[in-house]
Homo-oligomer: A and B are copies of this chain.
Amino acid sequence: MEFFDIAETWSREAITAAQIVRLRNTVEQAMKSPFYGQRLKEAGVTPGSIRSLDDVRRIPLTSKDDLRAQYPDGLICVPKSELVRMHASSGTTGTPTVVYHTQSDLNSWADLMARCMHMVGIRREDVFQNMAGYGLFTGGLGIHYGAERLGCLTIPAGAGNTRRQVKLVRDFRTTVAHIIPSYALYLGAALRDEGEDPAELPLRIALIGAEPHTEEARRRIEDMLGLKAYNSYGLSEMNGPGVAFECVHQDGLHVWEDAYIAEIIDPATGEAVPDGEVGELVMTTLCRQGMPVLRYRTRDLTRFLPGECACGRVHRRLDRILGRADDMLIVKGVNIYPMQVEQVLMGFPEVGQNYLIVLERDDFRDVLRVKVEIRDEYFEEDMRKLHGLRERITRRIHDEILVTPKVDLVQHNSLPKSEGKAQRVQDLRERPAL
Give the interface of A toward B (CB within 8 A). 71-73, 80-88, 100, 103, 106, 124-125, 133-136, 140-141, 148, 151-158, 168, 171-172
Contacts and interface: CB of A to CB of B under 8 A. Distances in A.
Given A82-B151, A134-B140, 6 more contacts: A81-B151, A83-B153, A85-B153, A88-B168, A135-B158, A136-B157
Contacts of A151: 81-82, 84, 103
A125 B81 contact: yes
Given A85-B148, A134-B134, A151-B103, A72 B156 contact: no
Contacts of A171: 71-72
Contacts of A140: 134
Nearest to A140: B134
B86 A172 contact: yes
Contacts of A81: 124-125, 151
Given A154-B84, A156-B141, A135 B136 contact: no
A286 B168 CA distance: 28
Contact of A153 (B100, B153, B155, B158): B100
Given A72-B172, A80-B125, A86-B172, A135 B152 contact: no
A75 B172 CA distance: 14
A167 to B, nearest CB: 9
Contacts of A158: 133-136
A94 B177 CA distance: 23
Contact of A156 (B82, B135, B148): B135
Nearest to A135: B158
